[in-house]
Structure 1
Amino acid sequence: MTHRTPPLGDTTGLWQAVLAAAAGRCQCRGTCGKTHAKDGGRCPTVHGGYARHGTGPVHLIAAAADPDGLLLPPHHAAALPKQALAAWCPACHDATGRTAAKAQHTAGPDALFTL
């Protein structure tokens, strides 16, 4: 596993705990739109590794495990417990967030009131 340098704001060790639980590997299982079929259904990106040639090392993000949680306002996302977080590579995180936002947008205002 690669060396893990925590983000500057990780004073509680939460980021390190999330990455340790993920074994330093992105935990996306296809919510980004890719099947990750060649890698057993899980994104192969590891912290400190390279996603493709010509890019710098990838730094994994600790963010909401639930795709809808990626749409939370920052102050709500920052309050999530470790169990509700997952390690994401930036590519999967951004793609999953876009997919969740699009799904929320297409649901329309009536979806708020359906039971």
Structure 2
Amino acid sequence: MRARIPPLPGADMWQAVVHAAAGRCQCRGACGKSHAKSGDRCGREHGGYQQHHGGGTVRLLAAPADPANLLLPPHRAAALPKHALAAWCPTCHDAALTAARKAARAAAPAEPDALFDL
């Protein structure tokens, strides 16, 4: 694992989450990938090189561990305790967020458009 450079806001919380994850993304398939090549867990490490999706250095995020909680407003997500957070690489985080939004839209009841009600 390479040097961990924390983000400025919430550095202590981020350090704790990334340390508990051993500097590795904790996604186990919420992003839609099986991660079978890396033992059913994403193999990206903080500070490592990302060969796909634009390349560059991987910078882990501390975000809600439960994909449904990724939809929380920022002020509620920031209030979550450490044990409710996980380390995510940006690729897995974005894919899990997209999947959570899609699931929320599918679960929402369809409302008629009031503009065209007669």
TM-score (norm 1): 0.90
Aligned to 2:115: none
Deviations 1:61-95 (A, max 9, x none): 00000001100000000100000000000000000
**4+ runs deviating over 6 angstroms:** none
Q: Percent identity?
A: 64
User: Map of 1:60-79 to 2, 5 A cutoff?
Assistant: 60-79=60-79
- What's the secondary structure of 1:76's corresponding residue? helix
Aligned to 2:9: 9
TM-score (norm 2): 0.88
Aligned to 1:49: 48
Aligned to 2:114: none
Unaligned runs of 5+ residues in structure 1 are: 111-115
Q: CA RMSD in A?
A: 1.3
Q: Are 1:98 and 2:91 counterparts?
A: no
2-side partners of 1:94 and 1:44: how far apart?
16
Q: How many residues in Structure 1 have an aligned counterpart in Structure 2?
A: 109
